[in-house]
Structure 1
């Protein structure tokens, strides 16, 4: 397996898209909540991915909302809302 086949593999492309989505959602959530968060890029990406999961998987089931794809504008907004909740939880847990 060479690097060209890895770069064009659908799973690799999905991983890159989810990483970019996680970073974007995590950064947006940190911008919505005032104050400084002592988090690095990896933690921000993980928080954004977890927020997207929280918003796009759990929220429709809890509140009987329609299910959106994570890459739609509704899915991104719901993901940001989930990440904001996680930023607040992170702030309480780490006392930052």
Structure 2
């Protein structure tokens, strides 16, 4: 049951990040989940130690962990845009 919650929250985080970065029209449901989960991993490595919180990947579903996961997903989309288009947008 926990994996289903993890995938749903990852999908929502990926969707919100794609709307913030204006890449929502290019992504589907599966890519939103992938961006949310990988972005949470990236946020866990880079941002979680600075904020002293976990991410959704560490089964911490607090507001701070959702924010760190969202920031990680935004960073991931910026890196992908930078590599693909030459601009982080």
TM-score of the alignment, normalized to the shorter chain, above 0.5 = yes
Q: What number of residue pairs does the alignment pair up? A: 82
1:76 is aligned to 66
Question: TM (normalized to structure 2)?
Answer: 0.75
Which of the numbers 53, 76, 80 marks the counterpart of 1:67? 53
1:35 and 1:57 map into 2 onto residues whose CA distance is: 24
Stretches of structure 1 lacking an aligned partner (at least 5 in a row): 1-12
Aligned to 2:76: 86
Distance 1:73 1:53, change over 3 A: same
Task: Work out which of the two has the higher radius of gyration on C-alpha atoms and give 1 or 2.
Answer: 1
2:9 is matched with 21
Say if 1:89 and 1:32 are closer, same or farther in 2 by CA, change over 3 A. same
Question: Which stretch of the first structure deviates more once superposed, 44-53 or 86-95?
Answer: 86-95
TM-score by length of 1: 0.71
Aligned-residue RMSD, C-alpha: 2.2
